[in-house]
Structure 1
Amino acid sequence: MKSSIYNITKKGERKNIEFKESLNKKYHLEKDRKQRLASQMKYRMERGDGEAIYFIGVDDDGNLKGLDEYKMEESLFVLKNIAQEIGSVILNLDKYPGDNGTVAQALIGKKNNVKKDHMLVGVAGHVDHGKSTLIGTLTTGNLDNGSGRTRIFLDLQKHEIERGLSADLSFAIYGFCNGETLRVKNPLNKKEKAKLVENCDKVISFVDTVGHEPWLRTTIRGIVGQKLNYGLVTVAANEGPTHITKEHLGIIMAMELPVIIAITKTDIVTDETVKEVKEKVFELLKLVGRIPFMVKTDTDAEFIAKNMNQHLVPVLNVSSLNGEGLNLLDHLFLNLPIQDNKYKRKKPFMMYIDKIYSVMGVGTVLSGTVRQGKVKKGDKLLLGPDGTGKFLDVSIKSIEMHHYKKDDAEAGDVVGISVTGVDIGDIKRGMIICAFDYDKVPVRDFEAEVAILVHPTTIREGYECITHIETISETAIIEPLDKEYMSAGDTGKVHMRFKYRPYCIKEGQKVIFREGRSKGIGSVTKIIE
């Protein structure tokens, strides 16, 4: 311990380290002195990328003097108060033996810089199969009344509430702290949601998609554009799997996501009917090469969470009315792993834009899921490409995740970013906001390897369809390359061209395209510059 401190002091390898022999309330918390110490701490944190290390009981030469128990507690109390002065906290505290007592090593940083596990779950299923009701019940802990009482938390538009049908993507959250489930009493209360994000060490964000067939475009956007960790498909016990169930399940599997099946509304049918629907779900999963696993106990939930992959699919019986299966979902989400984004965090920042808002008092806000890298408040970034392929200079004014203000965001976070330097009319969904060193190439033409799932006739040169890549939803012109035409069941390479404007895409990204009832999936294989 002594030699390491001595080396750091002499070599100056750590510019964010500060030694304090002792701190006392009467002297160091005096107003002027406290402000000077706070400024010093802020400087150390700036040198340490938002973190500072304080050694208590160590003199300026790095010698381990040590403090008795009373003086150490007083010194740590003072250090905590100084940190609070600049909106920071003691993130970690270690104690070591010194010559005449104890030496403490304290890591100082912003509370909202504490790394949180953030899981993104896309919820899909046929209309009236209980998606929004299930998520409303799960995130609030309030059972439904049979008339969609908990669904209202996710249907925000007037016509959605009146008709009981979701028409756009909705987001809901709950989470865990030290293994205990934390929920929100009122998901419409922004402060309550922000507090939940602050207190959780694992946050679950649900993307509630649209079950009504005419809004399939929005459902695809929710599954393709949000960089989900898992998919959750609801199947109503009073109806069973439908063509929309198969459609949504197919989209999730095309994105190579692990999926969970929840058989809902088990309270309104007989046990025999639930069993029949379960058998139909099992048959459907086996048909597409998946292995169903019925989750009946907490032990089952923990087992499947540790062993789950794209091939193993947990199936649960749930009821938002009597609470059946909700505790199993809690256990499942608590134990499900989240892919480590360490590699992506080291890359230059980039986020696809999903929604654009104008917020009074804040300005232009862009929301989406951070694909890679890390962004901080005050960063200078690029936004584009516009219709001509150019990028615009923007500055980051503020960052929020579910109304919780953050100093930074990283790969996997769903955030709203307030920007300056651009008019809201110049921004379009599907654009990216990125660091200057991100490899950004505006693309109009590209090749893709595709499979035609449904098509009544043939796809030939000049065929037009809506193409979804990330948050991009744009008309593209298709030309088969391997053959003169393609029909349902065919696979092969195609040339695709965005009809109206360029976008930033990369090789390997998933593609879903549709036109009426015609649908196809694939991936980008070559960028044509």
Structure 2
Amino acid sequence: MLKKDELKNGNRSAEASLQPSTTASTTTQSPTVDSLGDKLNAINLTSVASSSLPLKRATTAAPTASAIAPIDDFDVNDMDDPLAGFEAQRSGIKDISLKEQFLSPTDDNIESLQTLLAARIREGSGETLFEIGVEEDGTPMKLSDAEYDTALATVKTAAATVGAEVAIMYEKNAGLSTGAPVVPESKDKEDKDANIAVEPSIAPIADVIDQPTYKSSYVMIRKTPKSVEELLELRVAVVGNVSTLLGVLTKGVLDDGRGKARVNLFRHKHEIDSGRTSSVGMEILGFDAKSVPVPTMSHGRNAPWDEICGKAAKVLSFIDLAGHERYLKTTVFGMTGCAPDFVMLMIGSNAGIVGMTKEHLGLSLALGVPVLVVITKIDMCPPNVLENTIKQLTKILKSAGCRKIPMFVKSHEDVVVTAGNFVSDRICPIFQVSNVTGEGLDLLKNFLNILPISQKYNRDDPVEYQITDTFSVPFVGTVVSGVVMNGIVHAGDQLYLGPDGNGAFQMVTVKSIQRKRLNVPLACAGQSASFGLKKIRRSTIRKGMVMLDKETIPPPRGCREFEAEILVLYHSTTIGHKYQAMLHCGAVRQTARVLAMDKPDQILRTGDRATVRFQFLQPAYLKVGARLIFREGRTKGIGKVSKIVA
């Protein structure tokens, strides 16, 4: 071993023995990419480890440099141990490597793999993104082409035994390929940060041919639903310049640049005349068990919802919200009442970041809903304008108010990596698409197909159903639509409905249930559904009411007064006693008045935090911990319900 004094005395031979090899076939990854990839994996593992579900290994690869914008204010050391509880996932599974299970498809190995896939599918509420070619601890299997084919066939066999289909999302070859760019290692420790600026050289073909390549892939394993009630559902709220893109996604027809694709989505004549959405609309996009989009055209016409859902295994419900400032109240109600799992923010590349874009982004952050951004009209936008729009967007996302990591999705590998890590609220995928040429639409559809099912709903809790709309259907009677927040509702169940004007609840019977315009025997937590009610008038029901389990003890009562911890985002002057504003909390949307606050001077200004007592004009049903938003003109504030008073 060399001593320090030998190096100090200039022993060049000793220094040479410690220098790293600088042959052309040696690769060194950018330090920025390494550190950010570690951060991204740490975010994903910590998010999964903190959940109440059994932990599974994050099936993600190190992201590419083009897919991620670096962030400087993130410290992995501040996070909990990402591997905490890792061994919990192996309970009930034989201690045998996945590679051996893949390449030796004996009955025992198939059974062990079947147990693993069944657990993963159960965790994912009916689907899971699985990586073939990597062990559970992240060790590469180094599968040759023949071994990979055997492993894929084994996975398909095991998936078939649990009633699931396997679809390849992305395949990759590990190792160097001919002519692959190589970044030489730095010869000096002080120059290691300069590796990013070094121009890559091309490895000689002779040095690359002898190097083996290994195959791996990401596959989507999705269970085939036996009936419509088992259909997977995701709700995506779409805000901004949305109608054209939704028309292209859900109708399967490209736009002509003059609004052809959006006409089919409008519900009112004035929307067609102005080209602006003014109400909350709903469109669906289905994927079958093999991750293939369900055709939206049938015999030259738009396929009805029941036909799409009959062929689909997973359905995305797009909540079409208004983008214009005039209809902001309707947009806020759609964001709070329809309980979206994700928000898709649309930005016109030629218009850039406008005022309403910031409003919609702030609304998503206030409600804690993950956001993905779609930049449209890239076919008609000059490159310098598009670059300026991207710079503005990146600056806003990385600001102290957002603290998100922008990830530009430009390949199918980026799609898989981003969707697998989207469980973290820190990540914001960014797509660039054209509704006229179709550029980027395949990446967006693939991303929507891989999006994970939300795990925030509990079927074992007592029933809670939020009413977002009411109808009077001929020969059926009164019908309500909304979202099942907790529990399971069966046709024929008796539930509490309320509160009415006096804060009381009455017992009603659910006569029938429909999901996506199909009759079903039950509706579970997290699903959108419509209930036909017996012997009740539509005039006695209003938006914001709830339906609760009949076994609720004590019997539910509506509240008029409650306390909330709020933050005033903006107000031109001051907020004081008897101040009134429109308050949104879940499906509740009504005027509330300030009765008192914990401020000595009883005054709130922009940026102030306080515990405020509000009073509704009509009784409403609230729960402690629910997020709320209040608005009045340009005044904006957010908060959480901390106490129900009366």
- 1:313–1:187 distance in 2 versus 1, CA, 3 Å: farther
Give the number of aligned pairs: 419
Choose from 405, 425, 430 the match for 1:291.
405
Partner of 1:63: none
Describe the superposition over 1:158-201 as per-residue Cα deviations: whole angstroms up to 9, x where unpaired. 11112111110000001211211114228998972112112211
1:383 aligns with 2:497: yes
Q: Which residue of 1 is the match for residue 465 of structure 2?
A: 351
- Aligned mates of 1:231, 1:188 — CA distance in 2: 31
Does 1:339 pair with 2:472?
no
SS of corresponding position for 2:227 = helix
Equivalences for residues 127-526 of structure 1 within 5 A = 129=241, 131-177=242-288, 178-185=290-297, 192-287=304-399, 288-308=402-422, 309-340=424-455, 344-438=458-552, 440-478=556-594, 479-483=596-600, 484-499=602-617, 501-526=618-643
AA at the equivalent of 2:432: N
Secondary structure at the aligned position of 1:268 is classed as: coil
Question: TM-score, with normalisation over the residues of structure 2?
Answer: 0.63
- CA shift for structure 1 position 493: 1.0
2:231 to 84, 103, 116: 116
Query: Retained in 2: the 8 A contact 1:113–1:408?
Result: no
Q: Distance in 1 between matches of 2:362 and 2:375?
A: 17
How far is 1:453 from its partner? 0.9
Secondary structure at 1:525's aligned position in 2? strand
Distance 1:410 1:250, change over 3 A: same
| Structure-2 separation of matches of 1:252 and 1:402 | 25
Equivalent residue for 2:132? Answer: none
- Give the secondary structure class of the aligned counterpart of 1:254: helix
Q: Please, which moves more after superposition, 438-447 or 215-224? A: 438-447
Indicate if the aligned counterparts of 1:365 and 1:418 stay in contact, CA closer than 8 A. yes
Q: Is the 8 A contact 1:392 1:422 kept in 2?
A: no
1:117-147 Cα shifts (integer Å, max 9, x gaps): 210101112xxx3x01111111122101112
Give the secondary-structure state (helix, strand or coil) at the position aligned to 1:473: strand
* TM superposition shift of 1:428: 0.7
Aligned partner letter, 1:161: I
What CA distance in whole angstroms lies between the structure 1 residues aligned with 2:487 and 2:466?
13
Task: Kindly indicate whether the alpha-carbon contact (under 8 Å) linking 1:174 and 1:204 is maintained by their aligned counterparts in 2.
Answer: yes
Is contact 1:184–1:193 with CA below 8 Å preserved after alignment? no
> Which whole-Å CA distance do the structure 1 matches of 2:496 and 2:574 have between them?
41
In structure 2, what is the Cα distance between the partners aligned to 1:365 and 1:92?
Answer: 37
Instruction: Quote the offset at 1:207 in angstroms.
Output: 0.4
1:251-279, Cα deviation, whole Å (9 max, x unpaired): 11111111000011111112232222111
Equivalent pair of 2:229/2:520 in contact (CA under 8 Å) = no
Shift of 1:156: 1.1
- Once residues 609 and 301 of structure 2 are traced to their aligned partners in structure 1, the CA distance between those partners, rounded to angstroms, is 48
Provide structure 1 residue ranges, at least 5 long, that are not aligned to the other structure: 1-90, 94-109
> 1:438/1:207 Cα in 2 relative to 1: closer, same or farther (>3 Å)?
farther
**3-state SS of paired residue (1:388):** coil
1:222 shift after superposition? 0.9
Partner residue, 1:13: none
> 1:173/1:495 Cα in 2 relative to 1: closer, same or farther (>3 Å)?
same
Give the C-alpha shift of residue 310 in structure 1.
1.2
TM-score, length of structure 1 as denominator length: 0.76
State the Cα deviation string for residues 293-320 of structure 1 (Å, max 9, x = none): 1000111011100011211100110111
* Residues 195 and 404, structure 1, Cα contact 8 Å, conserved in 2: no
The structure-2 alpha-carbon separation of the partners of 1:453 and 1:123, relative to structure 1 and needing over 3 Å to count, comes to same
CA offset digits 1:44-87 (Å, max 9, x no partner): xxxxxxxxxxxxxxxxxxxxxxxxxxxxxxxxxxxxxxxxxxxx
Displacement of 1:497? 0.9
What amino acid sits opposite 1:387 in the alignment?
G
Structure 1 CA distance for aligned equivalents of residues 340 and 331 of structure 2: 13
- Partners of 1:372 and 1:366 in 2: how far apart? 17
Alpha-carbon distance in 1 for matches of 2:611, 2:316: 38
Compute the displacement of 1:389 (Å): 1.1
Per-residue deviation, 1:481: 2.1
Contact 1:350/1:372 (<8 A) preserved: yes
Please tell me whether the aligned partners of residues 455 and 488 of structure 1 are also in contact (alpha carbons under 8 angstroms): yes
Mapped to 2, the partners of 1:470 and 1:186 lie a distance apart of: 37
* Structure 2: distance between partners of 1:337 and 1:156: 30
**Distance in 1 of aligned mates of 2:598 and 2:385:** 49
- Identify the range of structure 1 (296-305 vs 409-418) with the bigger mean alpha-carbon deviation: 409-418
CA drift of 1:116 comes to 2.2
Q: Deviations over 1:349-405 (max 9, x none)?
A: 111111111112221110111111111111112211100011122211221122122
Give unmatched runs, 5+ long, in structure 2: 1-160, 164-224
Task: Give the superposition deviation at 1:346.
Answer: 0.9
Take 2:608 and 2:315, find their aligned partners in 1: how far apart are those partners?
A: 41
Contact 2:251 2:302 in 1 (8 A): no
2:484–2:527 CA contact under 8 A, matched in 1: yes
Distance in structure 1 (CA, Å) of the matches to 2:229 and 2:633: 47
Q: 1:183 to 1:311 in 2, by over 3 A?
A: farther
Inter-CA distance 431–491: structure 2 relative to 1 (3 Å threshold): same
Structure-1 separation of matches of 2:265 and 2:620: 31
Identity %: 34
Q: In the TM superposition, what is the alpha-carbon distance from 1:516 to its structure 2 partner? A: 0.9
Q: CA deviation at 1:437?
A: 2.1
Between the aligned partners of 1:344 and 1:296, the Cα distance in structure 2 is 36
Aligned-partner SS, 1:182: coil
Amino acid at match of 1:459: I
What's the counterpart of residue 125 of structure 2? Answer: none
Amino acid at match of 1:504: Y
Structure 1 contact 452–486 (Cα < 8 Å) conserved? yes
* Matched-pair contact (CA < 8 Å) for 2:229–2:522: no
Cα gap change, 1:123/1:243 in structure 2, threshold over 3 Å: closer, same or farther? same
